[in-house]
Amino acid sequence: MDTENLVPAELRQLIRTGKWQDPTSGVCAGYVQANLVILPKEYAFHFLLFCVRNPKPCPILDVLEPGIPNPRIASGADLRTDLPKYRVYEHGNMKGEVSDITEFFNDQMVSFLLGCSFSFERALIRAGVPVRNIEEGKNVSMYITNIECEPCGPFHPPLVVTMRPMSPAQAVRATQITTRFHLTHGAPVHIGEPAEIGIRNLSKPDFGDPVTIKEGEIPVFWACGVTSILAVTSEDIPFVITHSPGHMFVSDLRDEDLTIL
Amino acid sequence: MDTENLVPAELRQLIRTGKWQDPTSGVCAGYVQANLVILPKEYAFHFLLFCVRNPKPCPILDVLEPGIPNPRIASGADLRTDLPKYRVYEHGNMKGEVSDITEFFNDQMVSFLLGCSFSFERALIRAGVPVRNIEEGKNVSMYITNIECEPCGPFHPPLVVTMRPMSPAQAVRATQITTRFHLTHGAPVHIGEPAEIGIRNLSKPDFGDPVTIKEGEIPVFWACGVTSILAVTSEDIPFVITHSPGHMFVSDLRDEDLTIL
């Protein structure tokens, strides 16, 4: 199957009918993929405000009214069935990983779709900037930093970042390119010295895989959507559903729809 | 008094002590001014989501938790006393215009500060683009269009726009400049033909004053914060407080803090 050239509606149909259960990296090239968070409505105002206050890690692509599972950014889609894998948490403990959340969804549930870095990675590659995790066929390196997010109500995680190594000149170019993608994390949050943001060892990421850092390269850090997952999987939140890592929602938006320039 | 060079904390102190009751246009040059909307918390999620869905007319500068009157974007400020004039509405009917809302504010009230066009007007002037309303000492021309906002819950106003006439070449430059100011309405929503967006007569604005359109100039339209006021002053909303037109909140943010590039 030519998965790179699937259109999103086709992929969602495959997922909904149980014919696709894999990660979505590299699928439907050029279309925006999203992180999913579903919360009870009593937490919705504070979580929406948390995202508004922290737009770099939590760029809002779509938020739906309570009980509505149909995103505005994907025609005919249903968030209860159209992701390959979900995780269900109670008070921060993962209770299960499922391929359909219809039984958990009701008129109290509010769904959030947040930008992910796949969009800007394609733009970097087109510009000749290396994306080492893709070159090496790995998951991107992610680290929990000592940077506090702007808190809101029960949501107060540290900022999680992704790291991509590159030359200083490429870091400048990557900053220009990702500035355009303000709805998929935007410009880097840090360049260079990892210790300054509380990262002790680049070869031991908190999530994902370590990647090769070549001679003369510096680490470039972007805010990461996993920040939102840390925010909602705390013991203060009785119930939450998220996508499973790498198993994203694929929308009808194109990467270029998200650029500011 | 050198009002242009007042710092915001000084102006807010003058307002709080009853020594300033005038409009804020041109005051504290270089600092961001904001539209104010205060609603009961039962409407807060839907109104916040309305703003998220309509970022051009309703760019979010700050939103506060229920009962909190102290914005994060102005040190020591109090939204109950630090605007020169407020309007209080019940079910869309204006019940009064006051200089202090302490008696109306309680732990149920949620405050929203939304961007206004003063920031980008200064940037246009610095770039040599005419801002006719300022040249002529008038309020900007505003029009209710036939463009529907993305609705959310009880909030479903038409888009309100401001209009500034200029040459086609200046319209291109103005588009570039205001693109940077995505938190104060951003790029134009329309250039040229008013009838296409439902405006019949440029010399009869729905709000503000008509301005001179010179030979060879075209009208350039930006989304306007008055859209948010139309949204909340409907009969569906039992109680809301807003700033009085032109009597804005002056924050500690500088115009350049809001630019994306």
Facing A153 at nearest CB: one of B41, B65, B152: B65
Beta strand segments in B99-199, E: 109-115, 141-148, 158-166, 190-191
The residue among A83, A11, A6 whose CA lies nearest residue A249 is A83
Contacts of A156 in chain B (CB under 8 A): none
pLDDT value, residue A3: 83
Q: Tens-digit pLDDT profile for chain A (261 aa)? A: 788 889 999 999 999 999 999 999 889 999 999 999 999 999 999 999 999 999 999 999 999 999 999 999 999 999 999 999 999 999 999 999 999 999 999 999 999 999 998 888 989 999 999 999 999 999 899 999 999 999 999 999 999 999 999 999 999 999 999 998 888 899 999 999 999 999 999 999 999 999 999 999 999 999 999 999 999 999 999 999 999 998 999 999 999 888 876
Share of chain B above pLDDT 90, in %: 88
Token duo for residue B40: 């009961």
Chain B closest-CA separation from residue A21 CA (Å): 31
pLDDT value, residue B216: 97
CB A58 within 8 A of CB A51: yes
Specify the domain boundaries for CATH 3.30.2040.10 within chain A: 118-224
For residue A181, the chain B residue with the least C-alpha distance is: B260
- Count CB neighbours of A139 within 10 A: 17
pLDDT value, residue A213: 97
Confidence band, pLDDT 50/70/90 cuts, at residue B259 = confident
Answer whether A49 sits within 8 Å of B41, measured CB to CB: no
The residue among A42, A1, A37, A31 whose CA lies nearest residue A153 is A42
pLDDT value, residue A26: 84
- Count CB neighbours of A19 within 10 A: 10
Token duo for residue B259: 């630019």
pLDDT value, residue A89: 98
Beta strand segments in A167-248, E: 190-191, 218-223, 240-243
Inform me whether the pLDDT recorded for B261 exceeds 80.
no
- Mutation pick from B46, B49, B185, B258 vs chain A, by most beta carbons of A within 10 Å, is B49
Answer whether B65 sits within 8 Å of A179, measured CB to CB: no
User: What pTM does this model have?
Assistant: 0.93
Confidence band, pLDDT 50/70/90 cuts, at residue B231 = very high
| Neighbouring-strand partners of residue B89 | B94, B240
Inform me whether the pLDDT recorded for B203 exceeds 80.
yes
Specify the domain boundaries for CATH 3.40.1640.10 within chain B: 3-117+232-255
pLDDT value, residue A182: 83
Inform me whether the pLDDT recorded for B13 exceeds 90.
yes
pLDDT value, residue A172: 97
Inform me whether the pLDDT recorded for B143 exceeds 90.
yes
For the residues B214-224, what does the mean pLDDT come to? Answer: 97
Token duo for residue A92: 């921060």
Specify the domain boundaries for CATH 3.30.2040.10 within chain B: 120-227
For residue A186, the chain B residue with the least C-alpha distance is: B260
Number of cross-chain residue pairs from A and B with Cβ atoms under 8 Å apart: 38
Token duo for residue A199: 């990262």
Reported ipTM: the value is 0.90
For the ranges A24-33, A166-175, B72-81, B164-173, the lowest mean pLDDT is seen at A24-33
For the ranges A245-259, B102-116, B148-162, the lowest mean pLDDT is seen at A245-259
Specify the domain boundaries for CATH 3.40.1640.10 within chain A: 3-116+228-258
| B3-117+232-255 topology per CATH | PSTPO5379-like (3.40.1640)
In three state form, how does the secondary structure of B191-221 look? ECCHHHHCCCCCCCCCECCCCCCCCCCEEEE
Higher pLDDT, B157 or A122: B157
Answer whether A260 sits within 8 Å of B52, measured CB to CB: no
Inform me whether the pLDDT recorded for B260 exceeds 80.
no
CB B250 within 8 A of CB B119: no
What DSSP line would sit under A40-109, residue for residue?
A: EGGGHHHHHHHHHH-TTTS-EEEE--TT----TTSTT--TTTSSS-EEEEETTEEEEEES--GGG--TTE
CB B112 within 8 A of CB B38: yes
Contacts of B179 in chain A (CB under 8 A): 260-261
| A3-116+228-258 topology per CATH | PSTPO5379-like (3.40.1640)
CB B208 within 8 A of CB B117: no
| Neighbouring-strand partners of residue B107 | none
Residues 6+ away with beta carbon under 8 Å from A213: A132, A165, A202, A219
Q: Does the structural domain B120-227 have CATH classification 3.30.2040.10?
A: yes
Facing A260 at nearest CB: one of B46, B153, B179: B179
Q: Which residues of B touch chain A, with CB atoms under 8 Å apart?
A: 41, 44-46, 48-49, 52, 60, 63, 65, 72, 150, 152-153, 179, 182, 260-261
Answer whether B46 sits within 8 Å of A52, measured CB to CB: no
Classify residue B155 by its DSSP letter: B
> Which position has the token pair 């008070």?
A91
In three state form, how does the secondary structure of A144-184 look? EEEEECCCECCECCEEEEEEEEECHHHHHHHHHHHHCCHHH
pLDDT value, residue B182: 83
Inform me whether the pLDDT recorded for B1 exceeds 80.
no
Chain B closest-CA separation from residue A64 CA (Å): 9
Q: Does the structural domain A118-224 have CATH classification 3.30.2040.10?
A: yes
Answer whether A46 sits within 8 Å of B60, measured CB to CB: no
The residue among B162, B165, B161, B163 whose CA lies nearest residue B129 is B165
